[in-house]
């Protein structure tokens, strides 16, 4: 293991994180929040010192192997989460470190599950920091590092691969640093657009940023304890947010294609089509179920259905209504959507549409094999044959995902909550959704769980964000054996 | 530059490895997914799976806007087809690998009539390299620069008295020359004045040719004058064919040992001056019957690295003056030369060097990849707007891993010291570790675009990313 290089990269990431803290610092200074300013300054000091120390560890060799890349990504996420919790604790906003860690992990992994009861009581700086974590974690903090520090570019593809969501990460320029920069530019532009749109819908500037970070990063931290239920009469805002969540669930590489004028390629993208199809079908199903029963007008029904489908499917987790009170069918649809997620290469979590697409094609192939045992049927996505390695990876990911979900549900059921609550708690954290049903439903949050469960769910959030394998690889004893 | 490389074999990979960096955008195309995976996992390149000769693929990749297409697939015909297609689609420069000896005569036709800008033939290049070595007087001479005024020589440190154990600054044996690189147990060191010479080191001296020659004459152990007269070539492949015909025209006696009878007949017919023996080159009795120990040089050009290595060692044991072995894996070259084989040649490395020389064309007049590509020696003319002009070298912040070995100004060779000031139009011969190449470029080539552009792309000329 090339510890020197791993340490240097981790140091750089921490310096970037420390730099990001200047934004909440500015907010806290503006609102004269004494405790928050002290907490943030202390955290910045600790981050800066640790970062400087690590980034000056001598590097013996610039070679980065798969092992180091995985170590950088997983350790990076763990360490960044740890340090992200510091401002919460040091400012006194969240006294318990376990709670702060849960909140930080939930922020970075864009889960949006919260253990804070009175969100409105948080200092503004800390409130923004939580949401800024969404934004940083959404596109990936290592991808950001790659964009800012192109020297990593030569060796960074392994890192990029381990952090980017989806089975076959897209590198669409020869230079990885350029790809990372393009991704971040699109991401920033989309965020800026959404901030302005949200602001135009009549929300304060600070809340606009918080809502946009939550929506574009598909995180789900809201500036209010009841998520967005209080804002749901604001129709324009609901539509803007639903649209921004939906857009953030699209593969960002497709936006690049659009900018390049490759309309046809984008339109014929099979993952995008399936993503659109699932969204439309789910909205239709919810609307049929809700219309007349919960909501009187068609407009209200469609708006609530679209908002909630976008929110859950892209794994954002904003709630515009207490869907725990909706009919069972609607709840079942939402629960199922927790296992879909957005597109690969987007900021969303969970399984991702393309993996479902590949799995569906594999299943179809097996059915056909009964009829034509000798037929050659490669799995074709977007006109390209998926190599059997990729297909195998997708299928085993899905199996592992279900296994982790089942085992996790067992663990959480020890809390004594009902089965749906336990299952949805795991689905909501593993899939980075952030909201479940019952005890972890829209009005409850994750406050009532024990510390052990909070730590376990934090682990699940990281596991889900890094798409299972990297974290499990680091945990396997073989990893540390030379 | 925006470069497309088709074919990710050994040569394609080496080329991508050499070029990918802040100066160039490299896209690589191959049909084999594993070859692409290997490239993308280790190099900063864009992999594209597909047949590079397909019009649609080339169009999709935006060949029109590429600066260069290099076709190095395993098939000559495909390479030419790729280049023709790319050229017709509007790519300004194309290069192909063509290695079939039957096409060797039509290279000029390709260049002039088909407008292929550059053709590389690894076997021919290898043969030329070996021929140059065999026909050369001193075994230590590696390369000439600036029209022969400056020479690059390699010298074992132990052969020159008063060098080992001292720092380079304290060594006064080298007048009018400079130690540009030290080769120490498989690693290349670009030395500074404080570097201490060790007994096992091999020094690479650069300087005025006469000065180096005089030094070697002074210490006779450095290299006897030794031109090969009788050469035995083991293996009768393409490289052997080229080498034999080259040596024959220089009046040497050539013996080729080849196993395949049909190939023997072909060689005998094509090379009337050579003695072609049909037999197993690994058979010691046969080699002795053919007077192995009487030979001045043994070149082992069979298809197996291991055989080449063993046979060359065998030749050395039997007192052959110069032994040369072909190795197909470039990273083995340094190890093999350490074993006492005079020269290990690697067609991929030689070809990659030729191609890089062509690609850097405008900027770099001459370039050799030494030590298996770890470092480069390059010759170039200082452009009029180079940032280094007018600054004393001691103050020019020359990065570690870079040495300006010699500077030729109006026909006069200078060995630059700290107070030397570079002028425009100077001809510079520099040693540079491969990874320091961008740093070297910063000294001599001004940034062409605004700072914002530079920050964004980290290099110039990259507004176009049209690859998928």
- Would an 8 Å CB–CB cutoff place A70 in contact with chain B? no
B126/B352 Cα distance (integer angstroms): 11
Long-range Cβ pairs for the range A185-193 (8 Å, 24+): A186/A252, A186/A255, A186/A256, A186/A259, A187/A138, A187/A139, A187/A216, A187/A252, A187/A347, A190/A216, A190/A244, A190/A247, A190/A248, A190/A255, A191/A135, A191/A216
Check whether A478 has a pLDDT greater than 50: yes
pLDDT digits (tens, 9 = 90+) for B229-263: 888 999 888 889 989 988 888 778 899 999 998 99
For chain A, percent helix, then strand, then coil, each to nearest 5? 70, 0, 30
What's the rounded mean pLDDT across residues A253-265?
A: 88
Nearest CB among B25, B41, B435 relative to A174 is that of B25
Check whether B163 has a pLDDT greater than 70: yes
What's the rounded mean pLDDT across residues A13-17?
A: 90
- What is the arrangement of strands in the sheet containing B230-234, beginning at the earlier edge strand? B275-278, B253-258, B230-234, B297-300, B322-326, B343-345
B117/B119 Cα distance (integer angstroms): 7
What's the rounded mean pLDDT across residues B208-233?
A: 70
Check whether B29 has a pLDDT greater than 60: yes
- Would an 8 Å CB–CB cutoff place A393 in contact with chain B? no
Say if the Cβ atoms of A174 and B27 lie within 8 Å: yes
- Would an 8 Å CB–CB cutoff place B31 in contact with chain A? no
Q: How many CB atoms lie within 10 A of CB A425?
A: 31
pLDDT of residue B463: 35
Q: How confident is the model at residue A410 (pLDDT cuts 50, 70, 90)?
A: very high
Q: Which CATH number fits domain B2-121: 3.30.200.20, 3.40.50.720, 3.10.20.30, 3.40.1360.10?
A: 3.40.50.720
What's the rounded mean pLDDT across residues A168-175?
A: 78
**What residue spans of A321-437 are helical by DSSP H?**
328-337, 353-371, 388-413, 419-430
pLDDT of residue B346: 86
DSSP assignment of A141-157: HHHHHHHH-GGGGGTTH
CA distances to A11, B185, B432 from A59, rounded to whole Å, are: 12, 21, 21
Query: Chain A residue closest to B23 (CA)?
Result: A175
Check whether B340 has a pLDDT greater than 90: no
Chain A partners within 8 Å of B468 (Cβ): 172, 265
pLDDT digits (tens, 9 = 90+) for B284-319: 888 888 888 888 889 999 888 888 888 888 888 888
CA distance, residue B399 to nearest chain A CA (Å): 16
- Would an 8 Å CB–CB cutoff place B146 in contact with chain A? no
What's the rounded mean pLDDT across residues A163-189?
A: 82
What's the rounded mean pLDDT across residues B440-468?
A: 46
What's the rounded mean pLDDT across residues A311-318?
A: 92
Q: Which CATH number fits domain B350-457: 3.30.70.1450, 1.10.1200.30, 3.40.1030.10, 3.60.70.12?
A: 3.30.70.1450
Beta-strand pair A384-385/B46-49: unpaired
- Residues 356-385 in A contacting B (C-alpha not used; CB under 8 Å): 384
Say if the Cβ atoms of A387 and B21 lie within 8 Å: no
Say if the Cβ atoms of A173 and B33 lie within 8 Å: no
Q: State in words which class domain B137-222 has.
A: alpha beta
Long-range Cβ pairs for the range A299-304 (8 Å, 24+): A299/A235, A303/A235, A303/A238, A303/A239, A303/A242, A304/A232
pLDDT of residue A292: 86
pLDDT of residue A279: 94
Q: What is the homologous superfamily of the domain B127-132+227-343 according to CATH?
A: NAD(P)-binding Rossmann-like Domain (3.40.50.720)
Closest C-alpha to B191, from B211, B169, B209: B169
Q: How confident is the model at residue B136 (pLDDT cuts 50, 70, 90)?
A: low
pLDDT of residue B449: 40
What's the rounded mean pLDDT across residues B394-414?
A: 83
> Burial level of A365, CB count in 10 A (0-12/13-18/19+)?
middle
A345/A349 Cα distance (integer angstroms): 10
Of A240-254, B134-148, B280-294, B400-414, where does the model show the most confidence? A240-254
> Burial level of B172, CB count in 10 A (0-12/13-18/19+)?
exposed
- Would an 8 Å CB–CB cutoff place A260 in contact with chain B? yes
Q: Regarding predicted confidence, which is higher, B213 or B15?
A: B15
Q: Regarding predicted confidence, which is higher, B217 or A454?
A: A454
Domain ranges of chain B: 2-121, 127-132+227-343, 137-222, 350-457
Check whether B467 has a pLDDT greater than 50: no
Check whether A86 has a pLDDT greater than 90: yes
pLDDT of residue A106: 93
Of A29-33, A387-391, B195-199, B413-417, where does the model show the most confidence? A29-33
What's the rounded mean pLDDT across residues A330-350?
A: 90
What's the rounded mean pLDDT across residues A74-98?
A: 91
pLDDT digits (tens, 9 = 90+) for A234-252: 889 999 999 999 999 999 8
- Would an 8 Å CB–CB cutoff place A392 in contact with chain B? no
CA distance, residue A177 to nearest chain B CA (Å): 8
Q: How confident is the model at residue B455 (pLDDT cuts 50, 70, 90)?
A: very low
DSSP label at residue A101: H
pLDDT of residue B197: 86
CA distances to A102, A331, B172 from A88, rounded to whole Å, are: 11, 34, 66
B354/A464 Cα distance (integer angstroms): 49
Q: How many residues does chain B have?
A: 468
Contacts of A38 (CB under 8 A, 6+ apart): A90, A91
Chain A partners within 8 Å of B47 (Cβ): 171
pLDDT of residue B454: 36
pLDDT of residue B366: 54
B62/B71 Cα distance (integer angstroms): 16
pLDDT of residue A250: 92
Q: Regarding predicted confidence, which is higher, A83 or B114?
A: A83
Tell me what percent of the residues of chain B surpass a pLDDT of 90. 8
For the record, the structure tokens of B146 come out as 């600036």
pLDDT of residue A151: 57
- Residues 437-456 in B contacting A (C-alpha not used; CB under 8 Å): 456
**Which of B28, B44, B466 should one mutate to test binding to chain A, selecting the residue with the greatest count of A CBs within 10 A?**
B44
Query: Chain B residue closest to A160 (CA)?
Result: B41
Chain B partners within 8 Å of A148 (Cβ): none
Check whether B220 has a pLDDT greater than 70: no
pLDDT digits (tens, 9 = 90+) for A30-82: 999 888 899 999 999 999 999 999 888 887 776 677 788 888 889 999 999 99
- Would an 8 Å CB–CB cutoff place A396 in contact with chain B? no
A401/A430 Cα distance (integer angstroms): 8
- Would an 8 Å CB–CB cutoff place B27 in contact with chain A? yes
Say if the Cβ atoms of B458 and A177 lie within 8 Å: yes
Query: Chain A residue closest to B468 (CA)?
Result: A172
CA distance, residue B27 to nearest chain A CA (Å): 6
Topology alike, domains B2-121 and B127-132+227-343: yes
Q: Which residue do the tokens 């009964």 mark?
A: A370
User: Which of these ranges, A306-310, A388-392, B451-455, has the smallest mean pLDDT?
Assistant: B451-455
pLDDT of residue A458: 94
**Which of B465, B466, B467 should one mutate to test binding to chain A, selecting the residue with the greatest count of A CBs within 10 A?**
B465
Say if the Cβ atoms of B468 and A172 lie within 8 Å: yes
- How high is the mean pLDDT of chain A? 88
pLDDT of residue A202: 87
Nearest CB among A173, A265, A387 relative to B465 is that of A173
A154/A157 Cα distance (integer angstroms): 7
Say if the Cβ atoms of A178 and B21 lie within 8 Å: no
Say if the Cβ atoms of B45 and A174 lie within 8 Å: yes
What's the predicted TM-score (pTM) here?
0.77
User: End-to-end distance of chain A based on CA atoms, in angstroms?
Assistant: 7
DSSP label at residue B278: E
- Would an 8 Å CB–CB cutoff place B465 in contact with chain A? yes
Check whether A85 has a pLDDT greater than 90: yes
Chain B partners within 8 Å of A146 (Cβ): none
Q: What is the ipTM of this complex?
A: 0.74
A329/A320 Cα distance (integer angstroms): 18
Strands (E) across A154-236 are located at none
């Amino acid at each position: 293991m090339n510890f020197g290089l791993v340490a240097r990269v981790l140091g750089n990431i921490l310096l970037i994180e420390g730099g990001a803290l200047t934004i909440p610092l500015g907010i806290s200074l503006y609102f004269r929040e004494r405790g928050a300013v002290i907490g943030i300054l202390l955290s910045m000091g600790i981050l800066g010192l640790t970062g400087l120390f690590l980034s000056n560890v001598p590097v013996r060799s610039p070679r980065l192997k798969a092992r180091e890349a995985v170590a950088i990504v997983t350790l990076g996420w763990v360490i960044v989460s740890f340090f992200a919790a510091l401002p919460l604790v040091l400012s006194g906003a969240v006294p318990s470190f376990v709670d702060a860690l849960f909140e930080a992990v939930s922020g970075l992994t864009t889960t949006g599950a919260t253990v804070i009861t009175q969100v409105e009581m948080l200092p503004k700086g800390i409130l923004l920091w939580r949401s800024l974590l969404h934004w940083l974690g959404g596109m990936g903090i290592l991808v950001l590092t790659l964009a800012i520090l192109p020297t990593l570019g030569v060796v960074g593809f392994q890192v990029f691969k381990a952090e980017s969501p989806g089975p076959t990460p897209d590198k669409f320029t020869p230079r990885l640093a350029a790809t990372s920069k393009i991704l971040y530019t699109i991401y920033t532009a989309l965020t800026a657009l959404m901030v302005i749109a949200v602001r135009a819908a009549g929300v304060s500037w600070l809340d606009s940023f918080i809502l946009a970070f939550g929506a574009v990063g598909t995180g789900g931290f809201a500036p209010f304890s009841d998520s967005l239920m209080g804002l749901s009469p604001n129709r324009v805002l609901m539509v803007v947010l639903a649209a921004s969540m939906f857009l953030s669930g699209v593969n960002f590489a497709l936006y690049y294609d659009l900018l390049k004028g490759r309309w046809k390629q984008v339109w014929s993208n099979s993952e995008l089509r399936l993503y659109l199809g699932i969204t439309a079908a789910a909205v239709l199903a919810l609307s049929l179920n809700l219309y007349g029963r919960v909501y009187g007008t068609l407009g209200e029904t469609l708006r609530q259905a679209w908002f909630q489908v976008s929110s859950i499917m892209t794994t954002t987790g904003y709630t515009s209504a207490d869907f725990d009170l909706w009919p069972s069918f609607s709840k079942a649809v939402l629960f199922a959507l927790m296992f879909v997620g957005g597109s690969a290469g987007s900021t969303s979590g969970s399984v991702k549409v393309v993996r479902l697409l590949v799995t569906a094609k594999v299943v179809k192939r097996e059915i056909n094999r009964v009829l034509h045992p000798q037929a050659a049927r490669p799995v074709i996505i977007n006109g390209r044959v998926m190599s059997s390695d990729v297909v195998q990876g997708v299928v085993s990911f899905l199996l592992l995902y279900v296994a982790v979900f089942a085992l996790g549900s067992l663990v959480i059921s020890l809390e004594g909550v009902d089965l749906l609550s336990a299952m949805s708690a795991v689905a909501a954290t593993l899939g980075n959704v952030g909201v479940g049903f019952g005890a972890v439903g829209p009005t409850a949050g994750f406050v009532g769980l024990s510390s052990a469960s909070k730590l376990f769910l934090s682990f699940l959030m990281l596991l889900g964000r890094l798409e299972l394998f990297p974290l499990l690889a680091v945990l396997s004893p073989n990893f540390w054996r030379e | 530059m925006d470069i497309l490389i088709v074919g990710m074999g050994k040569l394609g990979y080496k080329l991508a490895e050499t070029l990918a960096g802040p100066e160039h955008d490299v896209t690589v195309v191959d049909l084999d997914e594993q070859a692409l995976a290997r490239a993308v996992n280790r190099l900063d390149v864009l992999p594209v799976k597909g047949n590079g000769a397909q019009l649609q693929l080339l169009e999709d990749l935006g060949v029109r806007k590429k600066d260069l297409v290099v076709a190095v697939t395993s098939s000559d015909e495909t390479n030419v087809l790729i280049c023709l297609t790319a050229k017709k689609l509007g790519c300004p420069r194309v290069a192909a690998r063509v290695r079939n000896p039957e096409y060797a005569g039509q290279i000029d036709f390709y260049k002039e009539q088909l407008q292929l800008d550059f053709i590389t033939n690894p076997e021919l290049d290898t043969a030329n390299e070996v021929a140059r070595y065999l026909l050369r007087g001193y075994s230590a001479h590696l390369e000439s620069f600036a029209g022969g005024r400056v020479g690059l020589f390699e010298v074992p440190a132990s052969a020159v008295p008063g060098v080992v154990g001292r720092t380079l600054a304290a060594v006064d044996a080298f007048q009018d020359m400079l130690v540009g690189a030290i080769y120490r147990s498989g690693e290349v060191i670009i030395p500074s004045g404080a570097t201490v010479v060790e007994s096992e080191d091999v020094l690479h001296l650069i300087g005025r040719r006469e000065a180096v020659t005089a030094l070697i004459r002074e210490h006779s152990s450095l290299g006897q004058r030794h031109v090969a007269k009788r050469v035995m070539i083991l293996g009768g492949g393409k490289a052997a064919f080229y080498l034999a015909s080259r040596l024959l025209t220089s009046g040497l006696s050539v013996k080729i040992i080849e196993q395949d009878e049909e190939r023997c007949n072909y060689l005998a017919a094509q090379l009337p001056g050579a003695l072609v023996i049909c037999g197993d080159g690994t058979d010691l009795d046969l080699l002795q019957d053919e007077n192995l120990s009487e030979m001045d040089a043994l070149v082992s050009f069979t298809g197996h690295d291991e055989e080449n290595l063993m046979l060359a060692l065998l030749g050395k044991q039997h007192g052959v003056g110069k032994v040369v072995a072909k190795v197909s894996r470039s990273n083995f070259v340094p190890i093999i030369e350490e074993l006492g084989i005079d020269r290990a040649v690697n067609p991929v490395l030689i070809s990659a060097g030729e191609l890089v020389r062509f690609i850097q064309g405008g900027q770099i007049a001459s370039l050799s990849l030494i030590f298996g590509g770890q470092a480069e020696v390059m010759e170039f003319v200082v452009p009029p707007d180079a940032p280094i002009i007018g600054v004393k070298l001691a103050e020019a912040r020359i990065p570690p891993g870079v040495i300006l070995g010699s500077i030729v100004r109006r026909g006069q060779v200078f060995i630059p010291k700290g107070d030397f000031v570079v002028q425009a139009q100077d001809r510079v011969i520099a040693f540079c570790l491969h990874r320091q190449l961008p740093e070297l470029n910063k000294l001599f080539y001004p940034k062409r675009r605004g700072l914002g552009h530079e920050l964004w792309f980290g290099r110039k000329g990259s507004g176009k990313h049209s690859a998928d």
